[in-house]
């Protein structure tokens, strides 16, 4: 694992979500050598945590399966998981990246048989489910895990439980002596595809995400709606486990707001429109959704999807940025604001509020360990000054999946252009 | 090729050794599977186990390997032998993880495992290690059709990677839509001002680039061949035709603005002061930074109104139903043309939803800073009289019907219509609609076929059996239907880029074109080594036809979702392997079974079906065949196994490349062999289809709808064969479905064909 | 003044004559100001709607609106505005313009109080709390004044106890030393403001 053979004709892809996987695969399927770095224990990134995609309402794991198969059969891609780039030196055609690899405590002998998970007792927060549930301290991060290999949580290392976990493995796959290590990876070009993170909803004080159990984020709602999520796909509100049949979706939770994110995050309108379908799926005509919005940004043929949702009598649209949320005695969040079409003041109770939180770059350009030109939100810009470090997907712009993949495919070509130049120079 | 030598390896790890009698399985592999080498191993996927197999391949001349262990989706690194034919018997996810660990179940679980070993051995013996298509074609040039920003970007980017490009532009000069612009919306921070289009620089770069050959005033009048060996007739206005050879194609033919003549209620055609966005660009270009004059009389412009969604987002069915996603940006930019020249000019943008995603928000703010007024409203009519226009609209904020009285110029944001050529599926779509009771499409199609009617002009003029252009997805755009795979067009090696794919702005078009150039380059590299493109990327198998058996029924040529099969002059199917995506739909379609792949054929599956040991009718052990799509249903079953969900021991699952590849002979073979039922699991079809091969699951369900007659002929109940839609997330549902089906089959009398 | 709809003439006037008026064009009609205002329920027109009315050229309606007089300067709207509009200031600026243009609704209590406060202050250079409150109580007539005073009795007594209200102020009260200098200063300030805001 530690000997990563790479040359200045190798492309380093940072981030193993759909953008990074795409960039790596497109380049590798063009015959290029790729090293793919992922911070998490498995590939798939944020899309693997979505229940369905808009506008087809198909499942992200379907595409992930294909991409995993492409990765499995392509020997040109080497993958480092639980790894982060801590420094990049050099110049186009000749970079060296320092990659810090955290210990997984499980080696490639793992067959994913699950015996270590059975042996573990400590329950830890389930990051895959945005901490809405718990997993064992020896766990497979998701059902679609690739690499299909367990992880032992550092919290149990050094305890008798760790020894029990190790003893449970018949295949000598649990290695408690693993240490953090740093490796150097040479590369001619770098594709930076570290994706996005949901804007911290705690910062939007009037919405009370930190105070009210029944105010959650759109990404959490994805997990609640997923039959394989922490509630088994039942849309239950956190405070009392009651079915949330009347849900408010608040658009621009953080986005288009100079107090928070200056940009429009592009995806949130479509995501909320999609999530009204989850309500219909879960509760039929009993599931009521209300979307509070400024502008519904359903561009190109997404408009069809918007019109379909508009035609649903169980979905209401209120043109209003919600001013604040209070809680009534039954724990119902009550939304206060003004419908700006005409002038209608409202104080509407809902069972659950879903904040359509904005997209922030996961790694703001300012924190990339290289000199990178970025826009005011920290997204990587296309700039000569960035040399052969190319932003891809949501590291470069708030994008939906489709456009992220286009961006990643484009960035793969930009990297190949550099590699081919190096190859020509080296003969 | 050396003589076939089969080796079977049976893993005892992950509980297989405890739950199964592996010695018995070894015996099965040896006696019934006829494996020359049979080995059990306590932990087959570890370094030592793998080395053992490796050693047998290297030292014992093993050519065919059967690994009986976990799912073919697991431990792919360990068992990724590329120099032998390989099959995997799924004893872990397919057997022990879905069966209860109790004494009562032991016998049936063992039988299941034994059958999978038999199947694995039978399959591998029918497989060959794909050698790759010998007829590789190595032309690595890229053809770009369309010389606008998208086409020019694709050409420049492909050239930068070291590839030669042929660029064909219909017009007299490169530049396309962007060349008609005074400025473009900004592409960079601070996203505040319109910026130069950059078109002149791009044209200069192309002219200076010896890798790029440009034909202007030219069209692609004929396109034949396949990735790696396309032959293009480039017909020039002068009458000359040049033939160019290329390896892949990018179609970047852009868009035409929706015809504002369809909007007389918005004043278009009534006054020169009402124009579309192109009209205003022309004025701005002529003014070149100076004041833009009122067209009707050259008078000073004091007030300009921009009407968003003119003929777009239309719910009446008369105009475009979609949003063009770029007009809001354009209107803000155009308002700035006035504001930057004279801040006192009134510019009002009337919109219903301002759609400027991403950094567009900065541009919106900049427009406001410059004093552009934004009004959420719906324009009903524009009255154009004399030199001024009255714009009547509903102000949605103030909630009143109102008007802007004295607008000097009204700009209608009319949206993008794709220049995509002939709708090759039009007849098919019309037939489907007509079958469902709606004849409008069919009537329109018939009218279009009538003598003298204006027919759509083809862009690519492909000589493909399935029509001259790339199939369209919706509203004339050639977009991919796949969210994860936006470059998956249904014509291998031909990629759409820019607004012909879907309505978009220049920033997106540039990104899209760069991505398309990536795919075009990849396509020629794949073709050069006979490798499949997505989704079976890297697959070296290809369809092989035993042409002497062909009856010229044409089903393969018609049904291929990728238009890979033409007809030769004797009307036999002519396979173009580098267009093929290896889904096997042709194989499924072929009634005389003359199409096969080296590693996937009627035989590889058929022999598995026949290898299963079908107990006699007195045993009360029905057998059910499941043919499961390997892309979605099979992974779902694997994941159900990871959850330890129990399902019936009567089933035997065979993964298939796509349900479209299922040949009905497999069904009749199974029934004739005494199976009691057949379940098929494929992806969703219809409008929101999820089939990775576009039409595979749809074709399968069509074919299976006809199986009823066969069953009747055999005297069998129709419910013995059923097709189910399955998604990869149906982890809980599929085991339930299987159990319900198994119960239903158990309730029927045993198949009368047992023991024959 | 007649204004053509959706022209910049009134917006321009607001930009020139109203404090922070140049921010009005930046509003994106989200309505969070309207919902955030603690006195929102009492508004005839919400701030965001006022901004739209300004853009639509509704000069009379805006300046004669009761709304901006409702602002208590809690700054909730400014804190929340995603476009960072200084809404509180704009509201006060609009109120001032309305006052100067003589378009304040009749008997608008905030306006009345403002005028009383101003008159009270200008007289001596100091605010006479007692007279100011009495002036407020009795503005609608004697009997209403008595009722008001009785209702506020406990507040008044409390303030007296805390030495915040001196009953002797009824005699005329305290003032600053150089009253004429103070008046000259006010005059000059007003001249400057008028020319800056084109209010003369």
Residue C200 has a pLDDT of 64
Q: How far apart are CA B254 and CA B416, in angstroms?
A: 9
CATH of the domain at B582: 3.30.70.20
Q: Is residue B414 part of a domain?
A: yes
Q: Do C26 and B365 touch (CB under 8 A)?
A: yes
B388 φ/ψ angles, rounded to the nearest 5 degrees: -125, 165
Question: pLDDT digits over B438-459, tens only?
Answer: 888 888 888 877 777 777 899 9
* Interface subset of C 37-96, CB within 8 angstroms of A: 40-41, 45-46, 48-49, 79-80, 82-84
User: Structural domain of residue B447, as residue ranges?
Assistant: 423-456
Residue A3 has a pLDDT of 58
Q: Do C6 and B373 touch (CB under 8 A)?
A: yes
Q: Is residue B539 part of a domain?
A: no
Of A256, A324, A339, which has the smallest distance from its Cβ to C36's Cβ?
Answer: A324
Residue A2, pLDDT > 50, answer no
Q: Do B74 and A108 touch (CB under 8 A)?
A: no
> Percent of chain A beyond pLDDT 90?
97
Same domain, A55 and A121: no
Question: pLDDT digits over C113-149, tens only?
Answer: 999 999 999 988 888 888 888 888 888 888 888 888 8
Would you call A256 an interface residue with chain C, using a CB distance cutoff of 8 Å? yes
Cβ atoms B87, B115 nearer than 8 A:
no
Which chain C residues contact residue B365 at CB under 8 A? 26, 83
Residue tagged 């530049």 (tokens): B175
Angle, CA B290 vertex, CA B287 and CA B293 arms, to 5°: 60
Extract the tokens encoding C23: 């921010």
Q: Is residue B447 part of a domain?
A: yes
Same domain, A298 and A421: no
Q: Do A340 and C49 touch (CB under 8 A)?
A: yes
Would you call B67 an interface residue with chain A, using a CB distance cutoff of 8 Å? no
Q: Interface of chain C against chain B, CB under 8 Å?
A: 4-8, 11, 25-26, 28-29, 48-49, 52-53, 55-56, 83
Same domain, A351 and A402: no
Same domain, B235 and B303: no
Same domain, B71 and B158: no
Beta strands in A64-209 (DSSP E): 77-80, 83-91, 94-101, 123-125, 134-136, 138-139, 151-152, 181-187, 189-192, 196-198
Determine the distance from the C-alpha atom of residue B123 to the mean position of all C-alpha atoms in its chain, rounded to a whole number.
Answer: 30
Higher pLDDT, C41 or C90: C90
Which chain A residues contact residue C40 at CB under 8 A? 338, 345
Same domain, A23 and A55: yes
Residue B630 has a pLDDT of 97
In the beta sheet, which residues pair with residue A344? Answer: A339
Q: Is residue B135 part of a domain?
A: no
Which residue out of B301, B347, B374, B410 would a mutagenesis test of the C interface target, given it has the greatest number of C Cβ atoms within 10 Å?
B374
Chain B residue with minimum CA distance to A383? B188
CA-closest candidate to residue B308, choices B272, B264, B352? B352
> Percent of chain C beyond pLDDT 70?
98
The domain locations on chain C are 9-100, 109-197
Q: Is residue B92 part of a domain?
A: yes
Chain B residue with minimum CA distance to A28? B522
Same domain, A90 and A18: yes
Mean pLDDT of chain A: 96
- Count of domains in chain A? 3
Q: How many CA atoms lie within 13 A of C49 on its CB side?
A: 28
Residues with Cβ within 8 Å of B373's Cβ and at least 6 positions away in sequence, in order, are B346, B347, B348, B349, C6, C8, C11, C25, C55
Q: Is residue A174 part of a domain?
A: no
Extract the tokens encoding C55: 């853009």
The continuous run of DSSP H or E covering B366 comes out as helix B360-369
In the beta sheet, which residues pair with residue A184? Answer: A98
Question: pLDDT digits over B124-160, tens only?
Answer: 999 999 988 777 888 999 999 999 999 999 999 999 9
Cα torsion for C86, C91, C92, C97, to the nearest 10°?
120
Would you call B448 an interface residue with chain A, using a CB distance cutoff of 8 Å? no
**What is the least distance, in Å, from the CA of B263 to any CA of chain A?**
20
Same domain, A40 and A125: no
Same domain, A74 and A125: no
Residue tagged 């074709």 (tokens): B699
Would you call B397 an interface residue with chain C, using a CB distance cutoff of 8 Å? yes
Give, rounded to a whole angstrom, the gap between the first and last alpha carbons of chain A.
30
Same domain, B262 and B410: yes
Same domain, A346 and A242: yes
Q: 3-class DSSP state for residue B579?
A: helix
Burial of B574 by CB count in 10 Å (0-12 exposed, 13-18 middle, 19+ buried)?
A: middle
CA-closest candidate to residue C199, choices C111, C100, C114, C118? C100
Q: What is the CATH number of domain C9-100?
A: 1.10.1060.10
Q: Is residue A110 part of a domain?
A: no
CATH of the domain at B81: 3.40.50.960
Q: What sign does the dihedral B27-B28-B29-B31 (CA atoms) show?
A: positive
- ipTM, two decimals, is 0.97
Burial of C107 by CB count in 10 Å (0-12 exposed, 13-18 middle, 19+ buried)?
A: exposed
Q: Is residue A418 part of a domain?
A: yes
Same domain, B451 and B319: no
Q: What sign does the dihedral B72-B75-B80-B84 (CA atoms) show?
A: negative
Same domain, B474 and B463: yes
Extract the tokens encoding C25: 């064009």
In the beta sheet, which residues pair with residue B393? Answer: B379, B402
Would you call C34 an interface residue with chain A, using a CB distance cutoff of 8 Å? yes
10 Å Cβ neighbour count for B279?
20
Determine the distance from the C-alpha atom of residue A199 to the mean position of all C-alpha atoms in its chain, rounded to a whole number.
Answer: 12
Of C25, C48, C49, which has the smallest distance from its Cβ to B373's Cβ?
Answer: C25
Q: Is residue B606 part of a domain?
A: no
Rounded average pLDDT over A149-164: 97
Q: Is residue A175 part of a domain?
A: no
Extract the tokens encoding B402: 């109102």
Question: pLDDT digits over B80-122, tens only?
Answer: 999 999 999 999 999 999 999 999 999 999 999 999 999 999 9
Residue C91, pLDDT > 60, answer yes
Mean pLDDT of chain B: 95
Same domain, B469 and B437: no
Q: Do B362 and A263 touch (CB under 8 A)?
A: yes
Same domain, A204 and A59: no
Angle, CA A304 vertex, CA A21 and CA A355 arms, to 5°: 65
Q: 3-class DSSP state for residue B41?
A: strand
Same domain, B472 and B427: no
Same domain, B414 and B427: no
| Stretches in chain B below the pLDDT threshold 50 | 1
User: Structural domain of residue A247, as residue ranges?
Assistant: 199-359
- Count of domains in chain B? 6
Of C45, C49, C80, which has the smallest distance from its Cβ to A323's Cβ?
Answer: C80
Same domain, B624 and B662: yes
C12 φ/ψ angles, rounded to the nearest 5 degrees: -65, -40
CATH of the domain at A325: 3.50.50.60
Which residue out of A303, A317, A318, A320 would a mutagenesis test of the B interface target, given it has the greatest number of B Cβ atoms within 10 Å?
A303
Same domain, B344 and B404: yes
Cβ atoms A390, A411 nearer than 8 A:
yes
The continuous run of DSSP H or E covering B287 comes out as helix B277-287
Residue A1, pLDDT > 70, answer no
Residue C2 has a pLDDT of 60
Which chains does A contact via 3+ CB–CB distances below 8 A?
B, C
> Percent of chain A beyond pLDDT 70?
99
Same domain, B265 and B407: yes
Residue B756 has a pLDDT of 67
Q: Is residue B137 part of a domain?
A: no
Q: Is residue B534 part of a domain?
A: no
């Amino acid at each position: 694992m530690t000997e990563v053979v790479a040359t200045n004709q190798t492309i380093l892809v940072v981030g193993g979500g759909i953008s990074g996987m795409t960039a790596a695969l497109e380049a590798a399927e063009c015959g290029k050598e790729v090293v793919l770095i992922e911070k998490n224990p498995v590939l798939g990134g944020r899309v693997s945590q979505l229940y369905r995609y808009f506008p087809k309402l198909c499942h992200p794991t379907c595409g992930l399966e294909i991409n995993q198969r492409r990765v499995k059969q392509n020997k040109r891609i080497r993958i480092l998981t639980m790894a982060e780039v801590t420094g990049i030196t050099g110049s186009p055609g000749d970079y060296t990246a320092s990659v810090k690899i955290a210990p997984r405590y499980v080696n490639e002998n793992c067959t994913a048989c699950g015996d270590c998970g059975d042996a573990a007792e400590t329950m830890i927060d389930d990051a895959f489910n945005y901490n809405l549930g718990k997993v064992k301290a020896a766990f497979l991060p998701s059902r679609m895990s690739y690499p299909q290999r367990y992880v032992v949580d550092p919290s149990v290392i050094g305890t008798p439980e760790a020894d029990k976990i190790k003893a449970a493995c018949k295949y000598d796959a649990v290695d408690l002596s693993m240490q953090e290590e740093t490796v150097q990876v040479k590369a001619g070009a770098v594709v930076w595809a570290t994706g996005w993170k949901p804007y911290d909803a705690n910062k939007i004080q009037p919405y009370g995400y930190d105070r009210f159990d029944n105010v959650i984020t759109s990404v959490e709602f994805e997990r609640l709606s997923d039959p394989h999520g922490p509630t088994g796909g039942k849309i239950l509100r956190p405070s009392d486990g009651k079915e949330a049949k009347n849900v408010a979706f608040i658009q621009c939770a953080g986005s288009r707001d100079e107090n928070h994110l200056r940009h429009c995050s592009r995806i949130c309108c479509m995501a909320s429109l999609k999530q009204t379908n989850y309500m219909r799926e879960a509760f039929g005509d009993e599931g009521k959704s209300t979307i509070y919005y400024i502008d519904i940004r359903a561009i190109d043929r997404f408009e069809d999807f918007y019109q379909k949702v508009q035609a649903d009598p169980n979905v209401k649209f209120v043109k209003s940025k919600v001013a604040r949320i209070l809680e009534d005695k039954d724990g119902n969040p009550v939304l206060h604001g003004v419908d700006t079409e005409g002038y209608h003041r409202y104080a509407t109770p809902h069972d659950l509020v879903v904040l359509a939180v904005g997209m922030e770059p996961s790694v703001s350009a300012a924190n990339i360990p290289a000199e990178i030109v970025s826009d005011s939100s920290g997204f990587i810009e296309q700039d000569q000054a960035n040399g052969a470090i190319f932003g891809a997907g949501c590291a470069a712009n708030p994008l939906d999946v489709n456009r992220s993949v286009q961006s990643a495919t484009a960035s793969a070509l930009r990297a190949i252009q550099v590699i081919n130049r190096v190859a020509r120079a080296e003969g | 090729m050396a003589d076939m030598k089969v080796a079977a390896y049976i893993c005892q790890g992950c509980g297989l050794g405890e739950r199964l009698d592996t010695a018995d399985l070894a015996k099965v592999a040896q006696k019934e599977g006829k494996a020359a080498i049979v080995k059990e191993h306590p932990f087959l996927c570890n370094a030592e186990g793998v080395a053992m197999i490796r050693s047998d391949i290297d030292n014992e001349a093993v050519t065919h390997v059967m690994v009986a262990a976990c799912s073919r989706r697991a431990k792919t690194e360990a068992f990724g032998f590329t120099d032998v034919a390989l099959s995997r018997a799924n004893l872990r996810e397919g057997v022990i993880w879905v069966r209860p660990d109790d004494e009562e179940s032991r016998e049936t679980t063992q039988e299941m495992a034994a059958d999978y070993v038999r199947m694995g051995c039978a399959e591998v013996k029918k497989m060959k290690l794909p050698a790759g298509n010998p007829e590789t074609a190595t032309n690595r040039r890229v053809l770009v059709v369309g010389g606008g920003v998208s086409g020019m970007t694709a050409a420049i980017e492909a050239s930068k990677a070291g590839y030669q490009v042929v660029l064909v532009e219909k017009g007299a000069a490169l530049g396309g839509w962007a060349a008609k612009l005074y400025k473009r919306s900004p592409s960079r921070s601070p996203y505040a001002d319109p910026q130069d289009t950059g078109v002149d620089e791009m044209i200069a770069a192309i002219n200076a680039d010896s890798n790029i050959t440009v034909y202007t005033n030219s069209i692609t009048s004929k396109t034949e061949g396949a990735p790696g060996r396309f032959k293009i007739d480039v017909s020039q206005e002068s009458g000359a035709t040049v033939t160019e050879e290329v390896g892949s194609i990018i179609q970047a033919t852009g868009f035409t603005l929706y015809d504002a003549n369809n909007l007389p209620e918005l004043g278009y055609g009534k006054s020169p002061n009402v124009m579309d966005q192109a009209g205003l660009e022309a004025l701005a270009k002529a003014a070149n930074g100076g004041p833009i004059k009122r067209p009707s009389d050259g008078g000073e412009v004091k007030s300009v109104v921009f009407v968003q969604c003119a003929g777009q987002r239309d719910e009446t069915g008369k105009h475009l139903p979609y949003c063009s996603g770029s007009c809001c940006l354009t209107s803000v930019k155009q308002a700035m043309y006035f504001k930057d020249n004279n801040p006192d000019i009134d510019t009002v943008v009337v919109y219903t939803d301002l759609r400027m995603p991403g950094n567009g928000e900065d541009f919106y703010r900049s427009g406001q800073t410059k004093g552009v007024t934004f009004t959420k409203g719906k324009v009903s009519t524009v009255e154009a009289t004399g030199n001024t226009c009255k714009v009547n609209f509903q102000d949605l904020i103030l909630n009143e019907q109102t008007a802007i009285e004295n607008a000097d110029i009204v700009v209608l944001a009319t949206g993008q219509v794709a220049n995509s050529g002939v709708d090759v599926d039009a007849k098919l779509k019309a037939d489907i609609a007509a079958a469902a009771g709606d004849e409008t499409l069919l009537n329109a199609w018939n009218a279009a076929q009538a003598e003298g009617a204006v027919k759509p002009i083809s862009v690519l003029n492909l000589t493909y059996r399935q029509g001259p252009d790339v199939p369209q997805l919706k509203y004339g755009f050639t977009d991919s239907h796949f969210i994860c795979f936006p470059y998956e067009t249904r014509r291998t090696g031909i990629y759409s880029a820019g607004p012909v794919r879907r309505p978009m702005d220049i920033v997106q078009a540039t990104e899209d074109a760069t991505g398309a150039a990536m795919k075009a380059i990849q396509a020629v590299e794949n073709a050069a080594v006979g490798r499949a493109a997505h989704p079976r990327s890297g697959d070296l198998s290809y369809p092989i036809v035993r042409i002497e058996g062909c009856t010229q029924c044409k089903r393969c040529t018609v049904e291929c979702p990728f238009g890979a099969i033409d007809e030769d002059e004797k009307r036999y199917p002519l396979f173009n392997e580098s267009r093929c995506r290896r889904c096997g739909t042709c194989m499924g379609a072929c009634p005389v079974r003359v199409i096969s792949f080296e590693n996937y054929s009627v035989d590889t599956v058929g022999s598995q079906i026949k290898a299963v040991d079908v107990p006699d009718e007195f045993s009360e052990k029905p057998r059910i065949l499941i043919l499961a799509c390997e892309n979605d249903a099979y992974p779902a079953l694997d994941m159900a196994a990871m959850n330890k969900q129990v399902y019936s021991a009567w089933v035997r699952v065979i993964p298939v490349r796509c349900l479209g590849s299922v040949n009905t002979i497999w069904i009749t073979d199974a029934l004739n062999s005494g199976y009691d039922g057949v379940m098929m699991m494929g992806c969703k079809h219809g409008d929101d289809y999820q089939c990775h091969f576009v039409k595979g699951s749809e074709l399968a369900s069509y074919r299976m709808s006809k199986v009823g007659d066969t069953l009747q002929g055999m005297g069998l109940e129709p419910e013995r064969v059923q097709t189910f839609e399955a998604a990869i997330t149906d982890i809980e549902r599929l085991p339930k479905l299987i159990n319900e089906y198994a119960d239903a089959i158990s309730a029927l009398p045993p198949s009368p064909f047992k023991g024959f | 003044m007649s204004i053509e709809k959706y022209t910049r003439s009134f917006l321009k006037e607001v930009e020139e004559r109203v404090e922070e008026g140049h921010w009005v064009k930046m509003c994106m009609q989200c309505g969070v100001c309207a919902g955030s205002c603690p006195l929102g329920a009492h508004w005839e027109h919400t701030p965001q709607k006022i901004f739209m009315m300004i853009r639509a050229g509704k000069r009379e309606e805006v300046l004669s609106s009761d709304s901006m007089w409702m602002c208590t300067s809690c700054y909730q709207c400014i804190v929340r505005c995603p476009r960072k509009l200084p809404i509180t200031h704009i509201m006060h600026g609009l109120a001032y313009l309305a006052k100067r243009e003589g378009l304040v609704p009749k008997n608008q209590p905030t306006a009345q109080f403002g005028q009383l406060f101003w008159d009270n202050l200008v007289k001596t250079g100091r605010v006479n709390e007692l007279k100011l409150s009495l002036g407020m109580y009795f503005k609608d007539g004697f009997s209403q004044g008595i009722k008001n005073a009785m209702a506020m009795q406990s507040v008044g007594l409390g303030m007296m106890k805390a030495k915040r209200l001196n009953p002797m102020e009824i005699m005329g009260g305290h003032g600053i030393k150089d009253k004429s200098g103070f008046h000259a200063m006010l005059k000059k300030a007003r001249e400057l403001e008028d020319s800056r805001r084109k209010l003369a």
